[in-house]
Structure 1
Amino acid sequence: MIEGGFSKIKPIRAKEIKNRQCSYPSHITELKACRTELKPFIVADTETLLIDNVHKPYAAGLMLFRPGEKFNDIMIEPYFGEDYSIILDSFEEKSSKVLYDFVCRISTIVRQEESCFTIYFHNFSRFDGILLLKHLACHHKNYKLKPLMRNHRLYELSVYSNKKLLFRFRDSLNLLPGKLESLAKNLCPGLGQKGSIPYDEITQSNLEMKKRSLLDYMKQDILLLGGVMQKAQEIYWKVYKVDIESKITLPSLALSIFRMKYYDSSNWPIHIPNKNEDSFIRHTDYGGHTDTYKPYGTDLYFYDVNSLYPFVLKEYPMPGGKPVWHCNLEGMDLDSLFGFIDAYVVCPNTIKKPFLPYRDKNQTLIFPTREFVGVYYSEELKYARDLGYTVLPISGYLFEKMESPFKDFVSSLYESRKEAKKEGNEAMSYVYKILMNSLYGRFCINPKSTITEVCDSNRYKHLIRNSELIFGDLLSENNYIVAYHSNTETGPGFWNPQKNSDVQLAAAITASARIYMYPYISREDSYYTDTDSVVLGSPLPEEEISSTILGKFKFDDRVLKGYFLAPKAYFYTAFDSTNVLKYKGPAKNKVHPEWFELQYADPSRTELVPVKANFLIDWHTLNIIKKDTIVKLGIKLGTKRIPVYHGDAWVDTDPIDIKDLSFLDHFGKEIIKSLRNYVIQLQIENTTLNEKFSIIERGIAER
């Protein structure tokens, strides 16, 4: 069934689309508590076996949790495939029977428990949910399915009968991020540790023999997940009167708490951008800054900022009010502007660590020198100008500059977390931390995304005719899986933004964070940075270091020897002899300390390595498969910065020099000439007489 509902498709007239667009709220509203008591929920788990490199369930289990009720593993209801051997022969039949009876039992429980609708799995989005989506589509044809899936991530799977919600599956990982073992240690340590099983030793032939140990493993996972969810539910209800069962994700939960406890919509209404505003401002949401400057160093200092984004949320001004479009900002004083601006920029090549971001044709985020045009937050343009950039505003959306509406939210949570840590209350400390760090994420949700639906043939035919289709496949009789791009000019329906998405806040937060970090990453002795961390060759002053003060740096590690070869690819040995290795990529299990040494000695070196993807999702068939592939392992040189050599040794990097005025194509050649003439004039005013002639000659040649 479809993401937005499951009625028959009717043609939508332009007038209807216009009316529907106008019906969206103009700003985020305050929220009042609507529940008077907590709701029960179910936790569940599945266990699988690889059959022809496809994961097939051999067991499933569930347990009902009621608020405040004591529980134990006797209450867990397991389903084991080999128990059906008397009536079924093939593993496929037994696997299907496990899930069939599992779903039927859920249906029975939710009928008996009138307020119970939600079933949680840990990692439902990328594993259990895919198994259940396919099973329900193929074996429970009396149900109507409504998957909430964005960008190939299954957030929720709702099951209906005659348009009535029966139950819904959700991912506990979206509410409580982290490994189940760590969560249990923080929230319910009395339930014991997570177990382990030798997956490689499990076969069809020994399932019956290993039944007890396999079910004990699954039961312990269910017990830990239930304990974690029940404890978190109790905490959020006690402190905020919010039931986590009512929310799908942690950012959504954080926003609800903000709206209930801290938001003043009458004095600080948060504007919800329309399509034009969102599309323009989203160009400025560049995210964090990750870069390698020097590839190798000894005796270094690794620092992290205490809660960088919450610090920015608390201390920096934010764009308030309703934006006003200005089509011509030429000649206006940059200091008088506050908002998001399309600007012509020139970065002098004397700046070795440029400040302003830019996305190249491959969508790689770089920080280049020379001449380009882009959309930026006004405050980062002012900062860039003060560093020596030439900045000429062209057009943009201007907002009111207002004190952050998040000051009380961040201050309250941070102080509460410090108090909890002082008292040794790890559960409360964890809750305050994840809440404080999650609010930002709710504002940057992109209305344009990939939507996946399970639908009937009529809906399928409509989508393949009227959407930007990615793929469509038959799952079972009259059941199709379809993926398409949403909120596009040719997409189905009309512009349908997230009701609480506010890209102007997300863009202002990340830009302000880059401003805050720049004095540290631009230092001559800066080796590496990753959004809220920096590796330096000498220590920071004592007054800038604290492990408890928001926004201060905390000393993370003393590096004896370190290799920083690429963003999110580094290895170092600390002074206490511990090794720290980070590598992002499909071949990360093939990377080791010696690899970094070899790669540094020959940065262009590559090797082909076998990689096993044990849980790869085939979206066309909804199978989770194991696939062996060959991957070229190496680092990409010159994509973000240019390597600098001393002899044969790679010792440093330089910024990439670009010239890109394609953003100005719609303005025409005259405005480009005007901008360049102005830049030449500014340069002449700050040069000696001998340099003036060469500047003029270059300007004439460029025209």
Structure 2
Amino acid sequence: MNKEKPRYSNHITAIKPKTTKLRPFIVADTETLLDEKSHAHVPYAVGYMLVSPGDDVGSKADYEIETRFSESHVKFLPKMEDRSKRMMFEFLNSLERTLTVNKSVRTVYFHNLAKFDGIFFMRHYVERTDNIYRFKPLIRNHMLYELKVHKGRKLLMRFRDSCNLLPGSLASLAERLCPQLGPKGSIQHQEVRLSNLQERGEELLSYMRQDIRLLGGVMLKAQEIYWLNYQIYIEELMTLSSLATRIFRMKYYDEKRFPIHIPNRNEDTFIRRGYYGGHTDAYIPSGENLYYYDVNSLYPFIMKTYPMPGGVPVWRGNLEGERLDDLFGFIEALVVCPSDIIRPFLPYRDKNSNTLLFPTGQFAGVYYSEEFQYARDLGYTIIPLRGYLFEKKASPFEAFVSELYGSRQRAKKEGDEAMSYVYKTLMNSLYGRFGINPVSTVTELCDRERYEEFLRKDNFTSANQLTENYYIVSYITNRAEDKDWNPPRISAVQISAAITACSRINMYQYISRDDCYYTDTDSVVLGSPIPDEVISSTELGKFKLEYFVKKGIFLAPKSYYILTTEEKRVLKHKGIAKSLVNEEWFETQYAELHKTKQIPVQTNFQIDWESLNVMKREKIVNLGIKVNTKREPVFDNNQTWVDTTPLNVTDYAGQEKRILEYNLECLQKENAMKDREIEQLRSLIASISSDSLRKDEQGRSQPSDDPNNPAIQSHSSPTLFKHPPIKNKNKNKNKHTYRGKKKKKKPG
């Protein structure tokens, strides 16, 4: 019986450029105000502009930007909610007419569709009972990537997020890519209310038109750049990482020399356990006169320089006794990190908090073999158990990185901010695409019939009823227990895991220094400068001095304050309360490490998936830092926080038997050594005792402590004497031969 052929290749394939002609597209925007009762954002204006290749966006008149304003219906619809719904319907209807005339247009770009504009359109869809348009969202892991708009069975258009292709604020993107269009406008959004909406109408519409112009200019420039340089039409791709991957596969990838294997379910599940990411830690909490260094494009440097796992992996179920130097791939092993390593190297993910630690102790895990070899040389004990072995091959990314980095340096010299930005984002976006997880949460809008189908499936996770007719449901794909396995055709986790592992290796020589205060993946803060030969502001993989630090406080990963010698203040704090921290807070928190304070924080744009609203909400947060989550603080005699020590971990991870066997082996070896020492002592004692009984011709005993005693000469051991023996007790009768206080004579 013939085996069924796989539907796809088992490795990533190279692709050829397409001859697709550039097509026009549409850019759009919505503006909202905050409903004072519901605290939900309500759209009051929406607009769009058609952009064709070669257009001069700056010369487009206001009338070429189609706008809709809710207050145009104020005479007929007294409720703001009804006016907003009517406006949104007219917008869709106007878009449909434009697409009827311009049949090649299919894509409408919004800047921040995922977290803002797209939510309003989905809500509009589920709330209208007479809606002639049907929306089909593409939502993965609670991120909206695309909204397809159907009329009947016909696909009319697709809404996409320009942020996914061009990360950054609209203002900064416009400044880089189309500065000739002028700056982004500014309004105080919190001052826009229903009571003044009508009178401010033209001002608000003018602000929206400028945003639409800027987005049109940004997308037009991006379309031009990628078409002229790579023959890629950006409308075919939804994310920057997919764009970088397309360029790599089309221009640089040699699948014959290095076919990048697509792991099957077992391979992906096992190797993904060894995909840890970057190394972030705070070591010394406070310091002065420090040096803050960044690496020039760390991940691209690793991709270019280090060998990568190639070929089809081979499973080895028993690697005990194998030499680490003979293994290349992803290995599950028992790890013992000595307690005297102050800056441990190997990562460990805490299963309860999902925190990435770098601890001492005993634990089992999956790691890249290059990490194990490096850790062994640092003093770790590594006992390999099993794993997938690959071929060690020269990197397939050398040409990709070299050409893009060289192009970026030329663009910077020429002052071409647009191309410098493009080359940088492409270089840094490729590696993550290979690590995309096949297991994902999918969210759908559906009717009751479809909802009831989901209830009967075991991969169903949650659902909320939005209206009488519509539900929003979530389910998980590609679970371990599912029969079907349908991973993304670009998923190759071994590549991303190898890149991040080698990055940690590359940085460790600086992280492990006693004067390392802080590290964050590709940066370190040190107490003294690094050698000149590893410093360069332009050379790939070398360090550039970002700041001379006059004073620094490093409370936790992603939470630090820096005052530079130029009096520039740099503050980082992870979480929704980051806008509340300042220099004074860092000083106070450093002095009182465990201090927390409950503070109300307003979030203006929080998505409520249960109602499909963008809300303004107030949360009470504990402003402080989490202590002992990655390292333990160390205090001096004055109770001043001066240092940290690593956490100690014991996690057998299902390998209890083998770790206990290892501990038994160690104990047996230790006892065997003690037994040998005991036997040596017994032998020596017996020898000395035998010699002391022998007498010379005059009948005198040989002194047992005489250095000329042959027994002492033949059995001497430096571990027997910690202090030299006292040779002559008769010469210094009045001196004590022990260390301690002299005894006082009793009176009389």
Query: TM-score, normalised to structure 2's length?
Result: 0.87
Does 2:102 align with 1:118?
A: no
Deviation at 1:683, TM superposition (A): 7.4
| Partner residue, 2:8 | 24
Does 2:356 align with 1:356?
A: no
Aligned pair count reads 670
Deviation at 1:104, TM superposition (A): 1.2
Question: In 2, Cα distance between the equivalents of 1:498 and 1:345?
Answer: 33
Q: For the pair shown, which has the larger CA radius of gyration, 1 or 2? A: 2
1:207 counterpart (148, 172, 197):
197
Deviation at 1:461, TM superposition (A): 1.1
Question: In 2, Cα distance between the equivalents of 1:205 and 1:377?
Answer: 62
Secondary structure of 1:476's aligned partner: coil
Deviation at 1:36, TM superposition (A): 2.9
Question: In 1, Cα distance between the equivalents of 2:225 and 2:422?
Answer: 8
* Corresponding letter in the other structure for 1:655: P
1:65 counterpart (51, 54, 71):
51
Question: In 2, Cα distance between the equivalents of 1:447 and 1:527?
Answer: 37
Kindly indicate whether the alpha-carbon contact (under 8 Å) linking 1:466 and 1:490 is maintained by their aligned counterparts in 2: no
Question: In 2, Cα distance between the equivalents of 1:408 and 1:244?
Answer: 22
Deviation at 1:200, TM superposition (A): 1.6
| Partner residue, 1:440 | 431
Question: In 2, Cα distance between the equivalents of 1:533 and 1:673?
Answer: 39
* Corresponding letter in the other structure for 2:442: I
Does 2:85 align with 1:99?
A: no
| Partner residue, 2:477 | 486
| Partner residue, 2:735 | none
| Partner residue, 2:288 | 298
* Corresponding letter in the other structure for 2:86: K
Secondary structure of 1:284's aligned partner: coil
Question: In 1, Cα distance between the equivalents of 2:462 and 2:119?
Answer: 17
Question: In 2, Cα distance between the equivalents of 1:64 and 1:688?
Answer: 87
Deviation at 1:162, TM superposition (A): 4.4
What do residues 274-327 of structure 1 show as CA deviations (whole Å, max 9, x unaligned)? Answer: 111111111111001110000000010000000000001100111101111111
1:225 counterpart (215, 218, 227):
215
1:45 counterpart (24, 29, 33):
29
Kindly indicate whether the alpha-carbon contact (under 8 Å) linking 2:334 and 2:659 is maintained by their aligned counterparts in 1: no
Deviation at 1:369, TM superposition (A): 0.5
In 2 relative to 1, CA 438–686 (structure 1 residues): closer, same or farther, beyond 3 Å?
farther
Deviation at 1:73, TM superposition (A): 4.3
In 2 relative to 1, CA 68–681 (structure 1 residues): closer, same or farther, beyond 3 Å?
farther
* Corresponding letter in the other structure for 1:76: I
Deviation at 1:585, TM superposition (A): 0.6
| Partner residue, 1:335 | 325
In 2 relative to 1, CA 476–37 (structure 1 residues): closer, same or farther, beyond 3 Å?
same
| Partner residue, 1:672 | 659
Question: Once structures 1 and 2 are overlaid, which stretch shifts more, 468-477 or 241-250?
Answer: 468-477
1:416 counterpart (407, 410, 415):
407
Aligned-pair Cα RMSD in Å:
2.0
Deviation at 1:474, TM superposition (A): 2.3
Secondary structure of 2:575's aligned partner: coil
| Partner residue, 1:545 | 535
| Alignment map for 1:146-545 (pairs within 5 Å) | 146-360=136-350, 361-489=352-480, 494-545=484-535
Does 2:608 align with 1:618?
A: yes
In 2 relative to 1, CA 77–510 (structure 1 residues): closer, same or farther, beyond 3 Å?
same
| Partner residue, 2:712 | none
* Corresponding letter in the other structure for 1:67: P
Secondary structure of 2:114's aligned partner: helix
* Residue segments in structure 2 that go unaligned for 5+ positions in a row: 681-748
* Corresponding letter in the other structure for 1:426: E
Question: In 2, Cα distance between the equivalents of 1:690 and 1:389?
Answer: 26
Deviation at 1:489, TM superposition (A): 4.5
1:79 counterpart (58, 63, 68):
68
* Corresponding letter in the other structure for 2:309: P
Question: In 2, Cα distance between the equivalents of 1:429 and 1:400?
Answer: 35
| Partner residue, 2:718 | none
In 2 relative to 1, CA 214–689 (structure 1 residues): closer, same or farther, beyond 3 Å?
farther
Deviation at 1:209, TM superposition (A): 0.7
Deviation at 1:689, TM superposition (A): 7.8
| Partner residue, 2:707 | none
Kindly indicate whether the alpha-carbon contact (under 8 Å) linking 1:468 and 1:490 is maintained by their aligned counterparts in 2: no
Question: In 1, Cα distance between the equivalents of 2:405 and 2:424?
Answer: 8
Does 2:116 align with 1:132?
A: no
Deviation at 1:163, TM superposition (A): 3.9
Question: In 1, Cα distance between the equivalents of 2:40 and 2:80?
Answer: 13
Deviation at 1:158, TM superposition (A): 1.2
| Alignment map for 1:629-668 (pairs within 5 Å) | 629-647=619-637, 648-664=639-655
Question: In 2, Cα distance between the equivalents of 1:683 and 1:265?
Answer: 52
Ranked by relative contact order (alpha carbons within 8 Å, sequence separation 6 or more), the top structure is: 1
Question: In 2, Cα distance between the equivalents of 1:394 and 1:73?
Answer: 69
Question: In 2, Cα distance between the equivalents of 1:48 and 1:216?
Answer: 14
What do residues 224-273 of structure 1 show as CA deviations (whole Å, max 9, x unaligned)? Answer: 01100000100110110001111000000000000000011122111111
Question: In 1, Cα distance between the equivalents of 2:135 and 2:679?
Answer: 70
* Corresponding letter in the other structure for 1:479: Y
Kindly indicate whether the alpha-carbon contact (under 8 Å) linking 1:374 and 1:663 is maintained by their aligned counterparts in 2: no
* Corresponding letter in the other structure for 2:382: V
Deviation at 1:463, TM superposition (A): 1.3
* Corresponding letter in the other structure for 2:10: S
In 2 relative to 1, CA 682–402 (structure 1 residues): closer, same or farther, beyond 3 Å?
farther
* Corresponding letter in the other structure for 1:134: R
Secondary structure of 1:617's aligned partner: strand
What do residues 126-178 of structure 1 show as CA deviations (whole Å, max 9, x unaligned)? Answer: 11111112212333644443211111110111123444322111110000011
Question: Once structures 1 and 2 are overlaid, which stretch shifts more, 248-257 or 680-689?
Answer: 680-689
Does 2:593 align with 1:606?
A: no
Question: Once structures 1 and 2 are overlaid, which stretch shifts more, 98-107 or 652-661?
Answer: 98-107
Kindly indicate whether the alpha-carbon contact (under 8 Å) linking 1:156 and 1:169 is maintained by their aligned counterparts in 2: yes
* Corresponding letter in the other structure for 1:461: E
Question: Once structures 1 and 2 are overlaid, which stretch shifts more, 475-484 or 62-71?
Answer: 475-484
* Corresponding letter in the other structure for 1:446: N
What do residues 313-369 of structure 1 show as CA deviations (whole Å, max 9, x unaligned)? Answer: 100111101111111111111111111010001000110000000011321110010
What do residues 187-234 of structure 1 show as CA deviations (whole Å, max 9, x unaligned)? Answer: 000000011111121110100111111111111111001100000100
Question: In 2, Cα distance between the equivalents of 1:60 and 1:470?
Answer: 35
Secondary structure of 2:503's aligned partner: helix
Shift >6 Å, 4+ stretches:
681-693
Question: In 2, Cα distance between the equivalents of 1:685 and 1:115?
Answer: 82
In 2 relative to 1, CA 531–691 (structure 1 residues): closer, same or farther, beyond 3 Å?
farther
In 2 relative to 1, CA 82–353 (structure 1 residues): closer, same or farther, beyond 3 Å?
same
* Residue segments in structure 1 that go unaligned for 5+ positions in a row: 1-17, 694-703
Secondary structure of 1:558's aligned partner: strand
Question: In 1, Cα distance between the equivalents of 2:452 and 2:9?
Answer: 32
Kindly indicate whether the alpha-carbon contact (under 8 Å) linking 1:302 and 1:558 is maintained by their aligned counterparts in 2: yes
* Corresponding letter in the other structure for 1:64: L
Question: In 2, Cα distance between the equivalents of 1:201 and 1:564?
Answer: 38
Query: Identity over aligned residues, as a percent?
Result: 55
Secondary structure of 1:604's aligned partner: coil
In 2 relative to 1, CA 280–490 (structure 1 residues): closer, same or farther, beyond 3 Å?
closer
Deviation at 1:466, TM superposition (A): 0.7
In 2 relative to 1, CA 29–686 (structure 1 residues): closer, same or farther, beyond 3 Å?
farther
In 2 relative to 1, CA 344–599 (structure 1 residues): closer, same or farther, beyond 3 Å?
same
Deviation at 1:478, TM superposition (A): 2.9
Question: In 1, Cα distance between the equivalents of 2:670 and 2:267?
Answer: 34
* Corresponding letter in the other structure for 2:45: A
Question: In 1, Cα distance between the equivalents of 2:678 and 2:450?
Answer: 68
Question: In 1, Cα distance between the equivalents of 2:415 and 2:160?
Answer: 31
In 2 relative to 1, CA 682–501 (structure 1 residues): closer, same or farther, beyond 3 Å?
farther
